[in-house]
Amino acid sequence: MNETSEARETAGLITPEIRQWIGRSDEPQRLEVTRRDIVKYSIATQQRLDKYRRGDEAPPMFLFNAHQPLVDLDALRPDGLTVDPLLPELPLKRVMAGGVKNTYHRPIKAGDALVLTRTLTEIYEKQGASGPLIFVVYAVRVETEAGELVMEETRRRIFR
C-alpha cells in the first residue's frame, strides 16, 4: 500500500454511499462559441494578442466553468457557489480550489459547436495540518459535435 492509499483510508470520512458517486457524469452540454463571446472574454481578461482580441481564437481559460449553470443570485449557496449535482453530501463543508490542469488539443475558434462532459473521477481524504481534508476530482472533456477532442481538464476541490 502506498502513502497516498494509506492517507486516503485514515480519517474514515468517506462512506461507501459517498464512494458510489465516483464515475457519475453531468448531462453533456452543448456550447456554441461566438466571435462576440471570445472578444468580450478577451477584453474582460485584458488579453493582448490580436488573435484573441479579434475573436479569431479563444484564449486559455475561456471555457473555465463553462459547465456551470447560469442561475439567479438567490439560487447560490451561502458561499457563492452553485449546488453541484455531481457532489454527494460531504461531512466537511468549507470548499477551496485545489487546482486545475488543462490539456489543449486544438484551439477553440469562433463557430465551434462544443460538447462538454464533466465526470466525478475521484474522492479521497488526507490528514492536513489543521485536520482532515476531502479531495474531489473532476474530469471535463470538451469535444466538437463530430467527436474531435478539443480540451481535457482535471479540476480538484478541497473540503475542510
Task: Please state the length of the chain.
Answer: 160
pLDDT of residue 68: 78
Q: How many domains in the chain?
A: 1
pLDDT at 11: 52
Count helices and strands (H / E) in the chain.
4, 5
Beta bridge partners of 76: none
CA 28 – CA 141 distance, rounded (Å): 9
pLDDT of residue 83: 79
CATH code of the domain containing 53: 3.10.129.10
Domain housing 83? 3-159
Backbone angles phi, psi at 47, to 5 degrees: -65, 145
- In this prediction, residue 9 carries a pLDDT of 46
C-alpha cell at 66: 463553462
Nearest-angstrom CA–CA distance, 66 and 84: 14
Cβ atoms of 22 and 123 within 8 Å: the answer is yes
Q: How does pLDDT run along the chain (160 residues), one tens digit per residue?
A: 444 444 444 458 999 999 999 999 999 999 999 999 999 999 999 999 999 999 999 999 999 888 777 788 888 888 777 878 889 999 998 999 999 999 999 999 999 999 999 999 999 999 989 899 999 999 999 999 999 999 999 999 999 9
DSSP 8-state assignment for residue 109: B
